[in-house]
Amino acid sequence: MPDIAANIISLKKQIPSSVKLVAVSKTMSVSDILEACSTGHRIFGENRVQELLSKKDELPGDIEWHLIGHLQTNKVRFIAPFIRMIHSVDSFKLLKTIDSEAKKIDRQIDCLLQFHIAQEETKFGFSIEEAVKMIESEDFRQISFARICGVMGMATFTDDMNQVRIEFRKLSGYFRELKEKYFRQIPGFCELSMGMSGDFVTAIEEGSTIVRIGSIIFGNRS
């Protein structure tokens, strides 16, 4: 049995205070999450809407929930009232849906644009060309309740830290390019979400502002 409280405390000592830790609690039980909460930690990430909804009401109301996995447009309305940040905006269609659901309830929702930086084919995300095309489009100017706060990406699942570093550096370059070209006047565009259990040290060295970590805290998922 992993000592969840001890793990989170020791992990926080390895992360600079300027970097936000999202504790990834997908597949973990309510009691596991409560144990993490006992340390005072209140930022958690889930990748499935149904699972998030089923656990949320049994947990402290002051938890900041982050959605980190692929999101279907028909699920957005269920999380719109409370979600703190959606890291996984991977299409214009999804961004528009988030914006319209947010508008309905008069709430701004923080979003990150997810980029495909890994070698694996299966991972979701924009290419830089797709993102630029979206941002320069007429429709994009109508987006006002979905607040774009930065970018997110996942590196290839590999032990080759040199490759991981190259991919994080690429994402960091996209972040700076978009900031410079399109979001210079928007101080809220400031987040670079990258780094998981196996690669967070490299991610932080490459400029990450948010790390999303599950296994180190909760143990391996079965």
Ligand X SMILES: *Cc1c(COP(=O)(O)O)cnc(C)c1O
Judged by CB under 6 A, does residue 42 bind ligand X? no
- How far is it, in rounded angstroms, from Cα 128 to Cα 202? 22
- The angle at the Cα of 198, spanning 214 to 43, to the nearest 5 degrees, equals 30
Helix axes 4-13, 30-37, angle to 10 degrees: 50
Q: Which of residues 120-149 bind ligand X (CB under 6 A)?
A: none
Judged by CB under 6 A, does residue 33 bind ligand X? no
DSSP H or E segment with residue 182: helix 161-182
Q: Give min distance, CB of 108 to ligand X, in A.
A: 23
Judged by CB under 6 A, does residue 171 bind ligand X? no
Pick 97 or 208: Cβ nearer ligand X? 208
C-alpha of 203 from chain center? 14
Judged by CB under 6 A, does residue 213 bind ligand X? yes
Bridge partners for 191 per DSSP: 150
Q: Give min distance, CB of 215 to ligand X, in A.
A: 3
Judged by CB under 6 A, does residue 214 bind ligand X? yes
Contact 195, 171 (CB under 8 A): no
Pick 2 or 198: Cβ nearer ligand X? 198
Q: Give min distance, CB of 80 to ligand X, in A.
A: 20
| DSSP one-letter code for 65 | E
Judged by CB under 6 A, does residue 114 bind ligand X? no
For residue 170, count CB atoms less than 10 angstroms from its CB and return exposed for 0-12, middle for 13-18, buried for 19 or more: middle
Judged by CB under 6 A, does residue 215 bind ligand X? yes
Strand ranges (E), 18-145:
20-24, 43-46, 64-67, 85-89, 109-116
| Residue with smallest beta-carbon separation from ligand X | 214
The binder of ligand X chosen from 68, 86, 111, 151 (CB under 6 A):
68
The binder of ligand X chosen from 11, 23, 24, 194 (CB under 6 A):
24
Stretch that binds ligand X, among 52-60, 122-130, 142-150, 213-221 (CB under 6 A): 213-221
For residue 215, count CB atoms less than 10 angstroms from its CB and return exposed for 0-12, middle for 13-18, buried for 19 or more: middle
Judged by CB under 6 A, does residue 49 bind ligand X? no
Residues 185-204 vs ligand X: string with x where CB under 6 A? -----------xxx------
Judged by CB under 6 A, does residue 47 bind ligand X? yes
The binder of ligand X chosen from 19, 37, 69, 116 (CB under 6 A):
69
